[in-house]
Amino acid sequence: MQRLKRRQDFVAAARALYAATPGVVVQMRARGDDGPARVGFTATKRLGNAVVRNRIKRRLRALASLHLESVARPGHDYVLIGRDTSAARTFPELERDLGSALKRLHRTAPTPADRGTQ
Protein backbone atom coordinates (compact mmCIF):
# COMPACT_ATOMS: atom_id res chain seq x y z
CA MET A 1 0.00 0.00 0.00
CA GLN A 2 1.35 3.39 -0.97
CA ARG A 3 1.78 6.25 1.49
CA LEU A 4 0.35 9.76 1.34
CA LYS A 5 3.09 12.33 1.80
CA ARG A 6 1.97 15.55 0.14
CA ARG A 7 -0.05 18.11 2.07
CA GLN A 8 -2.55 18.57 -0.76
CA ASP A 9 -3.49 14.88 -0.51
CA PHE A 10 -4.15 15.21 3.23
CA VAL A 11 -6.19 18.40 2.65
CA ALA A 12 -8.26 16.68 -0.04
CA ALA A 13 -8.95 13.74 2.29
CA ALA A 14 -10.01 16.17 5.02
CA ARG A 15 -12.84 17.36 2.76
CA ALA A 16 -14.12 13.83 2.11
CA LEU A 17 -15.96 11.21 4.16
CA TYR A 18 -14.84 10.48 7.71
CA ALA A 19 -15.74 8.21 10.59
CA ALA A 20 -14.73 8.90 14.18
CA THR A 21 -14.29 6.19 16.81
CA PRO A 22 -12.86 6.44 20.34
CA GLY A 23 -9.37 5.39 19.23
CA VAL A 24 -8.99 6.71 15.70
CA VAL A 25 -10.56 8.98 13.08
CA VAL A 26 -10.50 7.61 9.53
CA GLN A 27 -10.93 9.84 6.48
CA MET A 28 -11.61 8.26 3.09
CA ARG A 29 -11.49 10.00 -0.30
CA ALA A 30 -12.32 8.50 -3.67
CA ARG A 31 -9.66 9.76 -6.08
CA GLY A 32 -11.56 8.77 -9.22
CA ASP A 33 -8.87 6.52 -10.67
CA ASP A 34 -8.07 2.80 -10.52
CA GLY A 35 -4.68 3.17 -8.84
CA PRO A 36 -3.78 1.37 -5.64
CA ALA A 37 -5.16 2.56 -2.33
CA ARG A 38 -2.97 4.99 -0.40
CA VAL A 39 -2.76 5.65 3.33
CA GLY A 40 -1.52 8.52 5.48
CA PHE A 41 -1.13 9.02 9.22
CA THR A 42 -1.55 12.11 11.40
CA ALA A 43 -0.95 12.85 15.07
CA THR A 44 -1.28 16.49 16.12
CA LYS A 45 0.79 18.28 18.75
CA ARG A 46 -2.29 18.39 20.95
CA LEU A 47 -1.74 14.66 21.65
CA GLY A 48 1.57 15.17 23.41
CA ASN A 49 5.28 15.43 22.81
CA ALA A 50 7.15 13.82 19.91
CA VAL A 51 7.57 10.51 21.74
CA VAL A 52 3.83 10.15 22.29
CA ARG A 53 2.95 11.24 18.74
CA ASN A 54 5.44 8.82 17.22
CA ARG A 55 4.12 5.97 19.37
CA ILE A 56 0.59 6.72 18.17
CA LYS A 57 1.69 6.82 14.53
CA ARG A 58 3.57 3.52 14.92
CA ARG A 59 0.42 1.90 16.29
CA LEU A 60 -1.64 3.31 13.41
CA ARG A 61 0.90 2.05 10.86
CA ALA A 62 0.74 -1.41 12.43
CA LEU A 63 -3.07 -1.35 12.25
CA ALA A 64 -2.99 -0.31 8.61
CA SER A 65 -0.49 -2.98 7.63
CA LEU A 66 -2.54 -5.70 9.34
CA HIS A 67 -6.07 -4.74 8.34
CA LEU A 68 -6.31 -1.91 5.84
CA GLU A 69 -4.57 -3.65 2.94
CA SER A 70 -7.20 -6.38 2.79
CA VAL A 71 -10.24 -4.06 2.84
CA ALA A 72 -8.97 -0.88 1.16
CA ARG A 73 -10.64 -0.03 -2.11
CA PRO A 74 -8.53 0.75 -5.18
CA GLY A 75 -8.58 4.41 -6.13
CA HIS A 76 -9.14 5.61 -2.55
CA ASP A 77 -7.03 7.54 -0.05
CA TYR A 78 -7.27 6.77 3.66
CA VAL A 79 -5.97 9.02 6.45
CA LEU A 80 -5.77 7.63 9.99
CA ILE A 81 -5.77 10.36 12.62
CA GLY A 82 -4.64 9.58 16.14
CA ARG A 83 -6.75 10.64 19.10
CA ASP A 84 -5.78 11.29 22.71
CA THR A 85 -6.92 7.76 23.65
CA SER A 86 -4.97 6.08 20.83
CA ALA A 87 -1.88 5.55 22.98
CA ALA A 88 -3.80 4.15 25.96
CA ARG A 89 -6.22 1.81 24.16
CA THR A 90 -5.29 -1.83 23.75
CA PHE A 91 -4.41 -3.02 20.29
CA PRO A 92 -7.56 -5.21 19.96
CA GLU A 93 -9.67 -2.16 20.84
CA LEU A 94 -7.92 -0.13 18.14
CA GLU A 95 -8.52 -2.97 15.68
CA ARG A 96 -12.24 -2.90 16.48
CA ASP A 97 -12.28 0.89 16.13
CA LEU A 98 -10.63 0.72 12.71
CA GLY A 99 -12.95 -2.07 11.55
CA SER A 100 -16.02 -0.14 12.70
CA ALA A 101 -14.88 3.06 10.99
CA LEU A 102 -14.09 1.29 7.71
CA LYS A 103 -17.43 -0.52 7.76
CA ARG A 104 -19.26 2.79 8.13
CA LEU A 105 -17.21 4.47 5.40
CA HIS A 106 -17.56 1.65 2.90
CA ARG A 107 -21.34 1.47 3.18
CA THR A 108 -21.79 5.13 2.22
CA ALA A 109 -21.89 6.29 -1.37
CA PRO A 110 -18.60 8.04 -2.25
CA THR A 111 -19.53 11.59 -3.15
CA PRO A 112 -16.92 14.32 -3.39
CA ALA A 113 -16.64 16.73 -0.46
CA ASP A 114 -19.26 14.87 1.59
CA ARG A 115 -18.63 15.24 5.32
CA GLY A 116 -21.01 12.53 6.52
CA THR A 117 -20.45 9.41 8.60
CA GLN A 118 -23.61 7.52 7.70
Task: Please report which confidence band the pLDDT of residue 118 belongs to, taking 50, 70 and 90 as the band edges.
Answer: very low
Domain-located, residue 117: no
Domain-located, residue 118: no
- The domain total for the chain is 1
Domain-located, residue 8: yes
Q: How far apart are CA 57 and CA 110, in angstroms?
A: 26
Domain-located, residue 67: yes
Domain-located, residue 111: no
**What is the pLDDT, as a whole number, of residue 117?**
47
Domain-located, residue 89: yes
The boundaries of the domain holding residue 33 are 2-104
**What is the pLDDT, as a whole number, of residue 112?**
53
Task: Please report which confidence band the pLDDT of residue 33 belongs to, taking 50, 70 and 90 as the band edges.
Answer: confident
Q: What percent of the chain has pLDDT above 70?
A: 91
Domain-located, residue 113: no
Q: What is the pTM of this model?
A: 0.86
Domain-located, residue 72: yes
C-beta of residue 84 within 8 angstroms of C-beta of residue 47: yes
Burial of residue 41 (CB within 10 Å: 0-12, 13-18, 19+) is buried
pLDDT tens figures, 56-112? 999 999 999 998 888 989 999 999 999 999 999 999 999 999 999 999 998 875 555
CATH number at residue 32: 3.30.230.10
Amino acid identity, position 29: R
